[in-house]
Structure 1
């Protein structure tokens, strides 16, 4: 799927970061760690952006995460982005013995402080942090990513993606740390308000809102005909009518129209969630009959 993404001209391949399948079934073949997979894909691809949408702050110590992401950025030649969220799927934590604290937003905030602080420490310097959740003492803050920070070009740093539909704290966190603010499966009617709140959060701290990329992740279900759309919806266990309402779904002309509306609402990037990873023809259809119509 990642190689097809690159070959067909898409801009990036981003992974969910989960350890447990959702819904019924035997769960085979079992989970793959997102950053382990992305390390492999960094060596198997040459152009596309690679990242998570999103990693859970509960899964990894921020010092370990900073090292992992920096190394994958090096492996890719500077093509990595880190989507980081608070985590929400309690069952996967129970299944693998991962702590799931009830209040995770402060944990996420401190992780962003540590990760960006480690990357931004000059080579030869030391990074210290004492917080409610993490203490780092005398860290050499290595290795460094290939990329420089989008918020401070004098410092190393992978672009950070912060996402969510919360009205206050999430936009404020994005304005402080992120290169991109992502809306995860938002109702179409709410997108404009979310964009406005993110822009206001930037202005509140003196940041130019134009420096914060606005994006959304939506389920993809495309077909050359309505019957093909219905077939693909059935393959992923979704209602085709519901997908046409809330996702990027339908025939090519419908997809072009939906993406156009999202652009008018202020989105600059759209992640198309492909749920059937064996259906490479799905990607080919979007590349040949949808992307070619976009300006």
Structure 2
């Protein structure tokens, strides 16, 4: 099981804080550093000093890290035109030496769109499908050839489809709980399918839908990587678990039910249960970005047992 660190900077984080977490992620042997793509805080936090842009952040981290993968869970299709997004991600991939992955979703948080003047369309899923076709199509176009796309929402004519990423193919992540359209999109475009904050039972059911959709699309189901994203709260003992839960405003029992919480042994056991249903990667949502000792404990007492 690969363990990746997943952050929510809209809740309050500077670039320097994110850099410290990313460097710890690399030094402690985790597989990747991912971040959300939001411009407005959620819940009862102050969100200061304000949002940071996902791809500007990852561009900086691309030059300040050497090994870890870098990506988004998930970039909102509503935030960027697909041609612009293809350029941004390809450039950051070049800057990182080929370590970038793109998680792309439809966008859902209407309030942040209103707050920053971003249009919030009603047909988000259909737009996402066109974005996926355009972004992957631009990257796949051979140098010297052009790319055209004429859809309902986007129109590209004679695009040089540049720049090219450093990787032959940037991995694309698609995720969600939708029963029909989401598995179909994943079967067509995704290298990885992610279930965010899903129970073991719900995750197993959704993995099954994606596997069936892949077979129907003519892909081997094992061509996709299946992953989960869960909040994590680990302590050496019950007192430390309670302290870390309080620091993020959560209850221990709720975290144990809905995330990866408890002693290292408890968390290793639950990760193993996700592995049994086919998950090969876990994104550990870290909500207290100043607690680097938390990362060290997860590395030494959890990651060492699940790798």
Q: Structures share a fold, TM > 0.5?
A: yes
TM-score by length of 1: 0.96
Inter-partner Cα distance in structure 1 for 2:220 and 2:45: 47
Partner of 1:221: 233
Q: Match for residue 107 of structure 1?
A: 127
In structure 1, the partner of 2:79 is 59
- Contact 2:230–2:284 (CA<8 Å) still a contact in 1? yes
Mapped contact 1:69–1:82 kept (Cα < 8 A): yes
Q: Quote how far apart the aligned CAs of 1:103 are.
A: 2.0
Q: Is the 8 A contact 1:226 1:250 kept in 2?
A: yes
Structure 1 unaligned blocks of 5 or more:
150-157
Deviation at 1:239, TM superposition (A): 1.3
Q: State the distance in 2 between where 1:113 and 1:90 align.
A: 24
Match of 1:210 among 210, 222, 232: 222
- Which residues in structure 2 correspond to 1:179-258 (within 5 Å)? 179-258=191-270
Tell me what 2:70 maps to.
50
Q: CA offset at residue 26 of structure 1? A: 3.3
Distance 1:253 1:189 in 2: 21
DSSP 3-state at the match of 1:206? coil
Shift >6 Å, 4+ stretches: none
Q: Distance in 2 between matches of 1:252 and 1:221?
A: 10
Q: CA separation in 1, counterparts of 2:45 and 2:125?
A: 31
Structure 1: distance between partners of 2:197 and 2:306: 21
The residue number in structure 1 matching 2:277 is 265
For 1:31, the equivalent position in structure 2 comes to: 51
1:25 CA displacement: 3.8
Partners of 1:127 and 1:140 within 8 A in 2: yes
SS of 1:218's equivalent in the other structure is strand
Specify the alignment match of 1:155 in structure 2: none
Alignment RMSD: 0.8
CA separation in 2, counterparts of 1:26 and 1:196?
39
TM-score by length of 2: 0.92
In structure 2, the residue matched to 1:153 is none
Q: Distance in 2 between matches of 1:258 and 1:179?
A: 25
Size of the aligned set, in residue pairs, is 287
Aligned to 1:279: 291
| Post-superposition offset of 1:238 | 1.0
